[in-house]
Amino acid sequence: MQTTATEEAGHKLYKLLNGAIIVLALLTVLEGSALTEWSAMATIFITLGANAVAEAFARGLADEITFKRRLTWPEGLHLLRRSLVVVLPAVVPALAFAAVALGWLSLGMAFAAACWLLVLALFAAGYMACALNGHQTWRGLLYGAVISTFGLAIVALRLLAS
């Protein structure tokens, strides 16, 4: 179960992209609900935490089947720690919702700001994927544009529903 630094960076990037897409989808659904900023934040963190646990559990089962042995506690905890990276994109709406609680933003503005920041984060992650592979700048910009298009599609659905 040894991983190289490049494999670890790739996995973290994958989990960050996964988390950003999940958060964007949740923001789209939650905005129409009669939730407070605290219940919206809790929903996002619990959903991402459940995603991390489910992935670690599935990866552990796959390893047990592949290697024909049970995982040790340290191996299982390592899988869970790797999967918890998916929770990091939840910091964006958490900060926006904290601004709502402090009276600095309206709830609608917090949802919009979080969505647009996550789309920007998707672009940056696509660009970084190319930088990790040593590709040229134009390819990084292309990757960033492609992955952020998925985020833009989710934001467009949010705008159409409003």
Supply the range of the domain harboring residue 46.
Answer: 5-161
pLDDT of residue 120: 93
Is the model's pLDDT at 2 over the cut of 60?
A: no
Rounded alpha-carbon distances, angstroms, from residue 126 to 99, 129, 145: 28, 5, 8
Per the structure, the count of domains in the chain is 1
Handedness of CA 26, 31, 34, 37 (dihedral sign): positive
Half-sphere exposure of 140 (CA within 13 A, CB side): 13
Is the model's pLDDT at 160 over the cut of 80?
A: no
At 102-132, the pLDDT tens digits run: 999 998 899 889 999 999 999 998 888 888 7
Across 128-151, average pLDDT: 85
